[in-house]
Amino acid sequence: MLMRTFALLPALLLPAALIAQAPAPSLGDRVKAERPAVDKLMADLQFPEALKRAESLLPATKPVFDKTDNQALVQSAVIYMDLGQAYRMAVETADAAGSWEKALEYAKTAKALSAESYAAIKDPFTQTVTYYTQAGARAKQVLEENDAHIKELKGKSVLDAGERQELDLAIGVEKELVDDAKWVKFFQTYLDVVKRESEAYDPLVKVMEDKLKGEADQVADYKAGKGEKTKWVEAVVSSPAYLEAQGDKAGKARFLYRLSVLDPENKKVQHQLDVLFGRASAAPAKPAKKGKKG
């Protein structure tokens, strides 16, 4: 006779309802919709404009991570992952636009969001994975113990009422075994993805911290400017070698945008940007003095 595990079937209704009721993450849709436009601005080296578009996606206040139940946890985890992607885009554009301080702030915010999300789902989702793993093991055991009888029932062309009930129960257990495996994979995937997200922003934070520290060291080492950023900017922009060392047009744009952030009033920086983008012509080189004829 079939026995055990049939009481587990109603437990599957909660996760099923969880998926059916989960709304589409609107922020995720907006990030995907904005990404092509932001990428185009980045390709055109319009970094400040790209930053503005990316920042328009950032929320004024952080949404609360709802821990009410598994449904709320899944929805909140999705929202926080979408937020992380929005902040990642803000980091990329802020870095290119020379707003390194903003880039660091956004990277830290994304890191904190992902860490909060993982901390919220780690224990409950681990417990849920364990529950469905154990449920699946019990269902498998029941099927194995009754394998011969189930095959006998399936092989009959005509079943009496009792046999039909037994076969229906067996089919229910088979479905439960499949569903248990599905939910183990579902919740384990969320655990794995959110864990990776919680570690993914560490490199971004470090890169921006290193860039800011390196720049601060250069400013501090510029003795003639006594550590003043504006004097350092003036010295750097006045030396063509610094700009040429930035490589291609994109590198030069990033360099000049950073100088512009450090000293927005510096006209030489703005002129170099205008020259780079063809809005102004470079100052013509002074003709060499003719030597005296002997």
pLDDT along the chain (294 residues), means of 10: 35 48 68 95 97 96 94 94 96 98 98 97 96 95 90 88 89 93 95 95 96 95 86 93 94 97 96 93 57 47
Helix (H) or strand (E) holding 194: helix 161-200
- The DSSP output letter for 58 is S
With tokens 């055109």, the residue in question is 44
Six token digits for residue 77: 């985890």
Contacts of 80 (CB under 8 A, 6+ apart): 63, 65, 113, 114, 116, 117
Six token digits for residue 84: 């992380």
What separation in angstroms does the CA of 62 have from each of 81, 109, 113, 190?
Answer: 13, 10, 9, 21
Q: What is the dihedral of CA 261, 265, 269, 270, to 10 degrees?
A: 100
Which of 192, 145, 190, 187 has its CA nearest to residue 170?
A: 145
| Count of Cβ atoms closer than 10 Å to residue 240 Cβ | 10
At 226 the pLDDT is: 80
- Produce one character per residue of 255-292: b if its CB has 16 or more CB atoms within 10 Å, e if not: bbbbbbbbbeebeebbbbbebbeeeeeeeeeeeeeeee
Q: Do the beta carbons of residue 107 and residue 91 sit within 8 Å?
A: yes
Q: Do the beta carbons of residue 82 and residue 66 sit within 8 Å?
A: no
Domains of the chain: which residue ranges? 6-202, 222-276
For residue 199, give the amino acid letter.
Answer: E
Six token digits for residue 7: 């009481």
pTM of the model: 0.81
Distance CA 70, CA 84 (A): 21
Q: Do the beta carbons of residue 203 and residue 104 sit within 8 Å?
A: no
Give the end-to-end CA distance of the chain in Å, rounded to a whole number: 121
Distance CA 8, CA 139 (A): 9
